[in-house]
Amino acid sequence: MNDFKKLAQLSPFELKDELIKLASNNQNHIMLNAGRGNPNFLATLPRRAFFQLGLFAASESELSYSYMKQDIGGIPDGEGIVERFERFTNENIHLPEVGFLRSTLSYVKDQLGLPGKTYLQELVEGILGCNYPVPSRMLEISEKIVSHYLLREMSGSDASTDDVKIFAVEGGTAAMAYIFDSLKKNHLVKKGDKVAIGMPVFTPYIEIPQLDEYAFEIVKINSDADNNWQYSDAELDKLKDPSIKVFFCVNPSNPASVKLDERCLNRIKRIVEDFRKDLIIITDDVYGTFADDFKSLFSVCPNNTILVYSFSKYFGATGWRLGTIAIHNNNILDDKIRGLPLEHKEELNRRYSSIITNVDDLNFIDRLVADSRAVALNHTAGLSLPQQIQMVLFSLFALMDENNNYKNTLKKVIRQRQATLYRELGVSVPQDSYSVDYYTLLDLEKIATELYDSDFASWIRSNFSKNELFFRIASETGIVLLPGKGFGSQHPSGRVSLANLNEYQYANIGRLLKKMAGEYYLAFKRINDV
């Protein structure tokens, strides 16, 4: 018990490991890790299609060197590939995943206007992984398909994919690492600059700017639980400060799991248009696909915004490491690079001269690609091709789901889990039309007040140091929650992921927490009745 206060000083993701150890040592309860964001659901049809496609691709490869009978194949040349694909799908049409594969060819040709044969050839070569990624930023047809998916999900419309470029990367974490690195290398930010961060936020996005190589001055743009986790006008108006170089936000937020409302989006848009045409915005929208009628800053402030999106949560693909960086063709990043002082341009000319004759023509997104491989290895840059193909199949699965059956099922699952948790806890379910509900924040003071009274809530707050209560919860119930304060939240709360456990386990969490609260309330009464 005496170690709790010392351990409570750790950052939330280091703290998590200590909480798991404590919860695992509880002999009376099974450990329930509600702190993980990794979902326990996943999209199966596009995965099945991936494996069937692999079998077809292997047979295409075996058309070469077949006379040798030594398990050797060649790179498919594409001649007759459409006819053989149709024969393959006809022979296996009883399999839903093969029917889906066949439908993608029709959809790509008829709905997206892309060449079917080129699409098939890209799928086959890509899943075989028999070539380097060319172009290294992303395969051409794949980029178009993923662009359609992102634009539909991030803006609710099919905007022109010709206006967007995508860099396929190893998950959202790689995207953030690459972006911060290239912003600095291209003199768009420098050590000690001010950056604004929408709070609370996923902790690494607080920690990365504090590293020695960046040492950014952080300006907090605070959202408020009492304002349904939206930013007030006064907080957003901090962005008018011309010394702030970058505004970073997660939308929908983590851990609050709430999307920006129209007022916030419009306020940011007006600030950019009227005061900060030079402001760089980075938005991480990984949870946007769980929201109703989602709109990204990428569509609201297109020229200023870098979009980071990961396929990890929505498709249950954290282990695949599938992420994207998207930037509109007309963007302030390229404008800023063109306006750099001569000495910086000369330095960048030396940096990138080995990969392009006129460095001024190298867009920021292609500098990201080069920087991701220390420039000299630009010719072997790019996300592995089988990963890109799975990304394409995920995208087509969502695009072709006209009734949003998959999306609606996931929303129903996580909201049922939320309702069960709060019902067993004995308190009302938070109501917010902008909430995505991938996570829920258990406001410890509000829960204590609703279960008992405000005096008990005050006693809880004053008698436990920062994060200490979470160690007690882990030790006494076997439940792992992450503290909201570790994400920059201003009030005592615990983040519960509604994605990674089954409904009965959320019922157990609710019951155990309610039982623990009752035991603490009895202790509170004994102390105060003396």
Which tens digit of pLDDT belongs to each residue from 118-137?
A: 999 999 999 999 999 999 99
Rounded CA gap, 260 and 110, in Å? 35
**Of 391, 405, 318, 406, nearest to 145 (Cα)?**
391
- CA dihedral over 353, 355, 360, 366, signed as positive or negative: negative
Give the other-Cβ count within 10 Å of 346's Cβ. 12
DSSP designation for 379: G
Termini Cα distance of the chain: 25
pLDDT at 37: 87
**Global pTM exceeds 0.85:** yes
pLDDT at 2: 46
What tens digit of pLDDT does each residue of 136-184 get? 999 999 999 999 999 999 986 656 888 999 999 999 999 999 999 999 9
What tens digit of pLDDT does each residue of 465-492 get? 667 778 888 888 888 888 776 555 556 6
For the residues 100-129, what does the mean pLDDT come to? Answer: 97
Percent of the chain with pLDDT over 70: 94
pLDDT at 57: 97
The DSSP line for 216-278 is PEEEEEEEEGGGTTEEPHHHHGGGG-TTEEEEEEESS-TTT-B---HHHHHHHHHHHHHT-TT
Upstream peptide bond of 386 is cis (omega within 30 degrees of 0)? no
Buried b (16+ CB within 10 A) or exposed e, 118-148: ebbbbbbbbbbeeeebeebbbbebbbbbbbb
Rounded CA gap, 487 and 11, in Å? 9
Rounded CA gap, 372 and 508, in Å? 45
What tens digit of pLDDT does each residue of 403-450 get? 999 999 999 999 999 999 999 999 999 989 999 999 998 988 889 999
Axis-axis angle for helices 405-425, 385-399 (nearest 10): 90
What tens digit of pLDDT does each residue of 328-337 get? 999 999 999 9
Give the type of residue at 143. E
Rounded CA gap, 183 and 358, in Å? 20
Please tell me the least confidently modeled range out of 6-15, 183-192, 203-212, 491-500: 6-15
Q: pLDDT class for 12, splitting at 50, 70, 90?
A: low
Residue 8: pLDDT above 60?
A: no
Please report, to the nearest 10 degrees, the dihedral formed by the alpha carbons of residues 364, 370, 374, 379 taken in order.
-170
Residue spans of beta strands (DSSP E) within 82-145: none
Helix (H, G, I), strand (E, B) or coil at 283: strand
Rounded CA gap, 294 and 10, in Å? 34
Output 296 or 65, whichever has higher pLDDT: 296
Mean pLDDT of the chain: 92
Helix (H, G, I), strand (E, B) or coil at 374: coil
Axis-axis angle for helices 385-399, 45-61 (nearest 10): 130
**Of 523, 497, 515, 454, nearest to 34 (Cα)?**
497
Q: pLDDT class for 17, splitting at 50, 70, 90?
A: confident
